[in-house]
Structure 1
Amino acid sequence: MIETERLLIEKLSVEDAAFILDLLNTPSWIEFIGDRGVRTITDAQHYILDGPLKNYEQVGFGPYLVKLNTNGLPIGICGLFKRDILDDVDIGFAFLPDYMGRGYGYESASAVMAYARSVLGLTRIIGLTTSSNHSSIRLLEKLGLRYEKKIILRIDGEESLLFGT
C-alpha cells in the first residue's frame, strides 16, 4: 500500500494474528494504550476482524501493518483512527520494543499522514497520547502536531493529550 525507504505499510489481515498477539502484550502497549485482553491467536484474529478489517470496510482506513522492506518482518503498526467521540481522525503507532527508537515511527507516520492527505483527502489529523508517554509526544511534535488540550478518552478517566495540525 505504502512503501518508504525502509518500510512496507499495508493493511492487516487475520494472517497477522501472531504478530498482533505479541504487539498487544508488550509492556509499552499495555501501559500507554491499554490491555485489550488479547491472550491467544484466536483472540488476536477476532481483534483484527472486529477492529482493523471492520474499519477498512466502514471508514476506508485503520491501523496498518509496518514491515521491514528488506525481509518483510512485521515490526509495528501505524495508522488512522476515527473515534465516535472526536471530530477528527487521529494517527496512532506502536512498535515492538526491539524496533523502537530507530526512526521507524517517524518514517511510517510521515508516510501515513502523506497518504491521508493525498489519497484520503484529510485536511486535519490529530494525535493522542498520555502525558507520561514522552516518546509519543516527541514523535507527534516531530510530525508537526502541536499540543492543543487535555481530553478524557479512557474509561479509567486518565487524561490524554490532544495534538493537532
Structure 2
Amino acid sequence: MIITETERLRIRQLTEDDAAFALKLYTSEPFLRFVGDKQLKTVEDARQYLLDGPIRMYQTRGIGLYLVELKECCTPLGICGLIKRDSLDDIDLGYGFLPENFGQGYGYESALAVMAYGRRKLKMKKLVAITTADNQRCIKLLNKLGLHFVENIEEPEAAPALGLYAMEL
C-alpha cells in the first residue's frame, strides 16, 4: 500500500517481499552503529522481523516504518515512517538509509512527506524522534526538519541515553 509520494520517491508499506532489502539495510554499518543490532543473519530472519515489527504495527496501530524507493524504477533506498513505542508518549519519526544513498536528500524528502501524511491523514499534533548524541548526521536532519532537542531519556533497549527531539505539527 502506497502511503505517499514525492517528485522522486514512493513511500509504501513494507511487505515480506522486502526481506532481502531489509537484511541489507539492517546489517549495514551505520544502521548497526546508530540503531542497533536486530540479530538479522538471514533473509528469513529479516522476513520474520518485518512480520513481527512493521507489518504487525500497521495492523495494530495503523502506522509503522515504510519503504522508501525511487519512483521511476522502484529501487529501495531506505525506510522512513512513524512508530508508536511503548516507552514514548508521542509518535516517533524513524528513518534509515543505505550508506550509498546518504547525502542525496532522500531522508529529508521522505521525512517531510511522512510528516505531512501524519498531519493530514492521522491528525497528529506533535512528533518526536530519538537518536544518540554521536549521530550528528541524524541530529542535523532532525533540526532541518524543525525538531528541537528536549532532553536525554533512558530507552529500555538502548545504552547510552538517547536525545529526545520534538516539534509541534
For residue 153 of structure 1, the aligned residue among 152, 155, 161 is: 155
Aligned-partner Cα distance in 2 for 1:157–1:114: 31
Aligned to 2:118: 116
Aligned to 1:134: 136
Note the aligned Cα RMSD (angstroms).
0.8
Give the gaps of 5 or more residues in structure 2. Answer: none
Q: Stretches of 4+ moved more than 2 A in 1?
A: 154-157
Aligned to 1:66: 68
What percentage of residue pairs aligned between the two structures are identical? 45
Give the gaps of 5 or more residues in structure 1. Answer: none
Aligned-partner Cα distance in 2 for 1:126–1:84: 13
**Deviations 1:70-101 (CA, angstroms, capped at 9, x unpaired):** 21000100001101111100101100011011
Q: Where in structure 2 are the equivalents of 1:1-165 lying within 5 Å? A: 1=2, 2-165=4-167
The amino acid that maps onto 2:117 is Y
Task: Compute the displacement of 1:113 (Å).
Answer: 0.4
Task: Compute the displacement of 1:155 (Å).
Answer: 3.6
TM-score by length of 1: 0.98
**Deviations 1:106-126 (CA, angstroms, capped at 9, x unpaired):** 000000000001001111000
TM-score by length of 2: 0.96
The amino acid that maps onto 1:80 is L
